[in-house]
Chain A
Amino acid sequence: MVPNPAQVCHNAFSGEVPPGMPSSARTAVHRAHPLPPLCAHAQSARRRLLAFMRGPDLPAGTHPVAMGWTRPLHLTAGWLVLLVALVWAWMGPQSTLSAYAGPLPPPALLDGPPEVSAGAPVIAGTPLLQAVLVVEQDGYSPGTSLRAGAWVELAEGWHIYWRSSGDAGLPTELVVSAPGLEIAPLSLPHEALAPVVPDGDPLPARWPAPRVFEEGGGFILTYGYTDRVLLPFLLHVPEDAPDTTILEATLDYLVCEVDCIPGQVTLQRTLHRHEGPLARDAESAAFFDAWIEKIPPRVDAHPTWTIDWAWSHDELPRGREVEVALGITVCAEPSSAEACPPLALDERALLAFIPDASLGVAWEQPTAHPHPSASEGLLVRWVGAATPDHSPSPGALRGLVHLVHGDRPVVVEVNASREWASQDGGVAAQPSPLLAARPTAGTAMGGETPPAPALPRLPWWQALVMAFFGGMLLNLMPCVFPVLAIKAYGFAHLAQASGRAKAEQAVGYSAGIVGSMLLLAAAVIGLRWMGTEVGWGFQFQHPLYIALVGALLVVFALNLFGVFEVGVGQVDVLDRAVQRTHGIRRSLFEGVLAVVLATPCSAPFLGTAVGFALASPPLIILLVFATLGLGLAFPYVLLSSVPAAARLIPRPGPWMETFKNLLGFALLATVLWLLWVLGQTQGVDGLIQVLGFFLVTGMAAWIFGGAQQREGRSRPLGYAMAGAMVVASGGWLLDFPGAAERAPADRLVEGAISWLAWDEAQIPQHLADGRPVFVDFTADWCITCKVNERTVLSSSRVLDAIATHRVVMMKADWTDGNDEIREALARFGKAGVPMYLLYAPGRPQEPTLLPEVITPDMVVRAFAAALPSPPTMEP
Chain B
Amino acid sequence: MRALSLVFVLAASAGLATSTLASTAEEARPTPGSGDTRAAQEGSAARAVVGQPAPDFTLQDHEGRTHRLADYRGKIVVLEWTNPECPFVVRHYNARTMQRLAQTLAGDDFVWLSINSTHHNRVEQTLESIQTYGLPFPVLQDQSGDVGRLYGARTTPHMYVIDAQGVLRYAGAIDDDPRGRSENPDNYVQRAVAALRAAQPVDPSSTQAYGCTVKYEGVR
Report if B33 contacts A (CB, 8 A). yes
| Partner among B16, B38, B219 whose Cβ is within 8 Å of the Cβ of A350 | B38
Question: Measured between alpha carbons, how far is A215 from B30 in the docked complex, in Å?
Answer: 10
Report if A239 contacts B (CB, 8 A). no
Q: Contacts A81-B9, A168-B154, A389-B206: A216 and B85 contacting too (C-beta < 8 A)?
A: no
Q: Is the CB of B37 within 8 A of A170?
A: no
Question: Measured between alpha carbons, how far is A77 from B13 in the docked complex, in Å?
Answer: 8
Report if B67 contacts A (CB, 8 A). no
A744-766, CB < 8 A from B: 746-748, 750-756
Q: Is the CB of B217 within 8 A of A217?
A: yes
Contacts of B30 on A, CB cut-off 8 Å? 159, 211-214, 226
Contacts of B194 on A, CB cut-off 8 Å? none
| Partner among B38, B42, B205 whose Cβ is within 8 Å of the Cβ of A752 | B38
Contacts of A48 on B, CB cut-off 8 Å? 5
B3-35, CB < 8 A from A: 3, 5-6, 9-10, 12-13, 16-17, 19-20, 23-24, 26-27, 30-35
Question: Measured between alpha carbons, how far is A74 from B87 in the docked complex, in Å?
Answer: 60
Q: Is the CB of B39 within 8 A of A364?
A: yes
Contacts of B88 on A, CB cut-off 8 Å? 260, 262
Shortest CB-to-CB span from B148 to chain A, Å, is 8
Contacts of A217 on B, CB cut-off 8 Å? 216-220
Shortest CB-to-CB span from B74 to chain A, Å, is 22
Q: Is the CB of A809 within 8 A of B44?
A: yes
Contacts of B39 on A, CB cut-off 8 Å? 364-365, 752-754, 799, 803
Classify chain A's interface size. Answer: 35 or more
Question: Measured between alpha carbons, how far is A168 from B27 in the docked complex, in Å?
Answer: 23
Question: Measured between alpha carbons, how far is A447 from B155 in the docked complex, in Å?
Answer: 49
Report if A387 contacts B (CB, 8 A). yes
Q: Is the CB of B37 within 8 A of A260?
A: no
Report if A42 contacts B (CB, 8 A). yes
B169-212, CB < 8 A from A: 178-179, 203-206, 208-212
Q: Is the CB of A215 within 8 A of B23?
A: no
Residue of B nearest to A218 (CB): B220
* Of A84-92, A703-711, A818-826, the one with at least 4 CB within 8 A of chain B: A84-92
Contacts of B26 on A, CB cut-off 8 Å? 97
Q: Is the CB of A219 within 8 A of B154?
A: yes
Report if A526 contacts B (CB, 8 A). no
Report if A222 contacts B (CB, 8 A). yes
Shortest CB-to-CB span from B12 to chain A, Å, is 6
1/0 per residue, CB under 8 A from A, across B122-162: the answer is 00000000000000000000000110010000110000000
Question: Measured between alpha carbons, how far is A358 from B206 in the docked complex, in Å?
Answer: 11
Residue of A nearest to B2 (CB): A70
Residue of A nearest to B150 (CB): A746
Shortest CB-to-CB span from B196 to chain A, Å, is 15
A318-341, CB < 8 A from B: none
Residue of A nearest to B202 (CB): A389
Shortest CB-to-CB span from A283 to chain B, Å, is 25
Report if B115 contacts A (CB, 8 A). no
User: How many B residues touch A, CB cutoff 8 Å?
Assistant: 64
A68-86, CB < 8 A from B: 70, 73-74, 77-78, 80-81, 84-85
Report if A346 contacts B (CB, 8 A). yes
Residue of A nearest to B203 (CB): A389
Question: Measured between alpha carbons, how far is A808 from B49 in the docked complex, in Å?
Answer: 14
Report if A220 contacts B (CB, 8 A). yes
Question: Measured between alpha carbons, how far is A357 from B208 in the docked complex, in Å?
Answer: 8
Q: Is the CB of B20 within 8 A of A88?
A: yes
Contacts of A357 on B, CB cut-off 8 Å? 208
Q: Is the CB of A84 within 8 A of B154?
A: no
Shortest CB-to-CB span from A662 to chain B, Å, is 18
A643-696, CB < 8 A from B: none
Q: Is the CB of A81 within 8 A of B44?
A: no
Report if A868 contacts B (CB, 8 A). no
Residue of A nearest to B52 (CB): A769
Q: Is the CB of A348 within 8 A of B20?
A: no
Report if A347 contacts B (CB, 8 A). yes
1/0 per residue, CB under 8 A from B, across A188-219: the answer is 00000000000000000000000111111111
Q: Is the CB of A347 within 8 A of B154?
A: no
Q: Is the CB of A73 within 8 A of B6?
A: yes
Q: Is the CB of B42 within 8 A of A362?
A: yes
Contacts of A128 on B, CB cut-off 8 Å? none
Q: Is the CB of B203 within 8 A of A346?
A: no
Report if A122 contacts B (CB, 8 A). no
Question: Measured between alpha carbons, how far is A689 from B197 in the docked complex, in Å?
Answer: 61
Return 23 A-B CB contacts under 8 Å, by A number.
A42-B1, A73-B6, A74-B2, A81-B9, A84-B17, A96-B27, A159-B30, A212-B30, A213-B31, A215-B219, A218-B220, A219-B149, A220-B154, A220-B213, A260-B212, A351-B37, A385-B42, A387-B204, A388-B50, A753-B39, A769-B52, A809-B44, A874-B51
Residues of A within 8 A of B (CB): 35, 42, 48, 52, 70, 73-74, 77-78, 80-81, 84-85, 87-88, 91, 95-97, 159, 165, 167-170, 211-222, 226, 252, 256, 258-262, 345-352, 357-358, 362-365, 385, 387-390, 746-748, 750-756, 769, 794, 799, 803, 808-809, 874-875
- By Cβ-Cβ distance, the 10 closest A-B pairs, closest first, are A348-B33, A216-B216, A754-B45, A389-B204, A96-B32, A168-B213, A167-B154, A364-B40, A84-B16, A168-B155
